[in-house]
Amino acid sequence: MESQTNPIKLNISWTQLMCMQGIKLSSIRYRKRHIIGDKYLSVMNTIKEFLDKNVESILPASAIGKAFGYAIKRWDKLLAYTVHGEVEIDNNLIENTIRPLALGRKNYLFAGSEEFAQR
């Protein structure tokens, strides 16, 4: 006698299933980023120690002095990616999204005017 398996019917729509899968993928990405944050926190602490130790020996008006000051003032924001798993270390996605606007800004001024666009 053959055993028959009865498929289980779920009352779930394709959209709901995809949403659940998206939540699962999102949580996996969150955990991966959190692990990455833990990994780089010790590196960031070493950099902070270096900044604090050497900031007094650098002229504040020099380029490196300004860079040190910038990093020290914004240190909490710089560490956001190590604490919050949903924060990325870079903003490439945003930059790639707005690049067409920035590149086309000059051209948009002369849209429809061939004479001025040639200048």
Tell me the average pLDDT of the chain: 76
Q: How distant is the alpha carbon of residue 84 from its chain centre?
A: 11
Binned at pLDDT 50, 70 and 90, residue 49 comes out as: very high
Mean pLDDT computed over 84-99 = 79
Q: What is the DSSP string of 21-85?
A: HHHHHHHHHHHHHHHHHHHHHHHHHHHHHHHHHHGGGS-TTSHHHHHHHHHHHTHHHHTHHHH-T
Cβ atoms of residues 81 and 88 within 8 Å? yes
Q: How far is CA 91 from the centre of its chain?
A: 4
Q: In Å, how far are 25, 80, 103 from 44, measured between CA atoms?
A: 28, 11, 34
Q: Give the best-scoring range by mean pLDDT among 25-29, 38-42, 60-64.
A: 60-64
pLDDT surpasses 60 at 88: yes
pLDDT at 75: 92
Max mean pLDDT range (38-42, 69-73, 95-99): 69-73
The string of pLDDT tens digits covering residues 12-38 is 665 665 566 666 555 666 666 666 667
